[in-house]
Structure 1
């Protein structure tokens, strides 16, 4: 008699509906978790890209300085070539 009072009878239709409804929520949570993971991945990629762009900017700054020096060297050598005779006459 105690066993009969403790059992609850649920129609199969309601049981199937309850299981399907629970699965929908699990799927929704998994989707939200996936979205959160994707957002975190995108944040990490953005941070990584920002670091790399900063490194590239530093390299360009270094190269810019080197090109400036190279341009002045070319100008100085060109002027030296044009005024070679005058320069030699000063030291001789």
Structure 2
């Protein structure tokens, strides 16, 4: 465990470029702080799992039928996208 934590600390403090992070969870609201923190560190961010339905509906007005939509998280998605820093690409 200590070895893993040391590795991740190094990767976050001085990552080799290109640095990609893949996030997936059910609710955007649960990941807002992590997304904000990682925007300063990564080149690319991929949003997956069930969070992507909320992003698709908010950003592209996609019909998501009965898929999970996170009302609370939807309120901050446009702000997160506006905060893309250092050329970070969020997909």
Which bin holds the TM-score, normalised by the shorter protein?
under 0.3
Q: Which has the higher contact order (CA 8 A, sep 6+)?
A: 2
- Taking structure 2 as the reference length, the TM-score comes to 0.18
More helix by share: 1
Structure exhibiting the larger radius of gyration computed from Cα positions: 1
More strand by share: 2
- Taking structure 1 as the reference length, the TM-score comes to 0.18
